Amino acid sequence: MQIKKIIAVLGIGLLVAGVLAGCGSNTDKSEKKANVKKVKVAYAQNSKPITYTDAKGKPAGHDVELMKLVDGLLPQYEFEFIPTTDDDLLLGVEQGKYDVGIKNTFYTEARAKKYIYPKEFLGLSSFGLVLRKDDANIKTLADFAKADKTLAPIAANNAQYTVIEEFNQKNPDNKVKLEAGDAFTVNVIEYVSEGRSDGGAIIEGQYDQKVRSTDGPYYGLNDKLVYNEVDVIKTWPLFNKKQQELADAYDGAIKQLKAEKKTNELSKQFYGRDLYEVLAKVSR
């Protein structure tokens, strides 16, 4: 009888210990979760293959996937990806509505006054001109300017405008005709194909998706238009001015991903080429 009582007491003790251990485990998990800071990452939802929302309503694209890898290396943060427009992203990050924004952003002095640019760039982007086949011999901005060609309008707050403007400042005797547009994005493919302008500034990834891809909306123009690369440019995430700690954490994570060549893999996956092969020649 005594033996049965001892066994029963031991059984209850083990059960209580198990429950307490379970509570401790749950408490630890809750504490860890409470210590994780949520980060609102805004992304431009219509910039395939850079940043976009896929058919299932999920965030996708080169910059999104790379930031997901960054998130995986930062257990103290949890990234929430929020789709939005270019204009809302820029204003939202500046005002603190979002902590960071990704949209194939180039560096400009004007933006550096409004946002934190981290030390490590996010990706590389092929920047060039969409032209009609008759003008396929135009290979550089200097060629374009010398031929006295017209360029589709670019919004003054679009970094592509800054790239052309910088060229004009360096080449005062051979300037590209630069017109500031009203909208942040202009359909340069229609501008060029319809003859409203001779050329338009565009990112190769976007040209691929719209013109070269068989399911692109302008695939029918593939034999009428060309894309000529002008430069390969570094792209950056934009952090809110109060998010220096987050930007520093990003720097450490992205540096590791570059060392592991994860960035090269994503470049090939989304752009069809490893843009890091020309990194030594990238000046901007």
pLDDT digits (tens, 9 = 90+) for 154-183: 988 888 999 999 999 999 999 999 988 776
For 176-188, b where at least 16 C-beta lie within 10 A, e where not — what string?
bebeebeebbbeb
CATH number corresponding to 34-124+235-281: 3.40.190.10
Confidence of residue 98 (pLDDT cuts 50, 70, 90): very high
Rounded to an integer, what distance in angstroms lies between the CA atom of residue 233 and that of residue 121?
A: 10
Rounded to an integer, what distance in angstroms lies between the CA atom of residue 52 and that of residue 83?
A: 8
Among the four given CATH numbers 3.40.50.300, 3.40.50.2300, 3.40.190.10, 3.90.1150.220, the one describing domain 125-233: 3.40.190.10
pTM: 0.81
> Using a CB cutoff of 8 Å and minimum separation of 24, what contacts does 112-116 make?
114/241, 115/238, 115/239, 115/240, 115/241, 116/238, 116/239, 116/240, 116/241, 116/243, 116/244, 116/247
Is residue 45 within 8 Å of 67, Cβ to Cβ?
no
Nearest to 199 by CA among 232, 167, 177: 177
HSE (CB half, 13 Å, CA atoms) of 47? 26
Domains 34-124+235-281 and 125-233 belong to one CATH topology: yes
Confidence of residue 26 (pLDDT cuts 50, 70, 90): low
Confidence of residue 24 (pLDDT cuts 50, 70, 90): low
Confidence of residue 96 (pLDDT cuts 50, 70, 90): very high
Average pLDDT, the chain: 89
Rounded to an integer, what distance in angstroms lies between the CA atom of residue 103 and that of residue 164?
A: 19
The distance from CA 218 to its chain's CA centroid, rounded to whole angstroms, is 23
Tell me the mean pLDDT in the region 207-225. 94
Where along the chain do its domains lie? Answer: 34-124+235-281, 125-233
Tell me the residue ranges of DSSP E strands in 46-191.
46-47, 51-53, 59-60, 77-84, 100-105, 123-132, 154-155, 180-181
The better pLDDT of the pair 149, 31 is held by: 149
| Statement: residue 133 has pLDDT above 50 | yes
158: Cβ contacts below 8 Å, ≥ 6 apart = 184, 185
> For a pLDDT cut of 90, what percent of the chain falls above it?
80
| Statement: residue 250 has pLDDT above 80 | yes
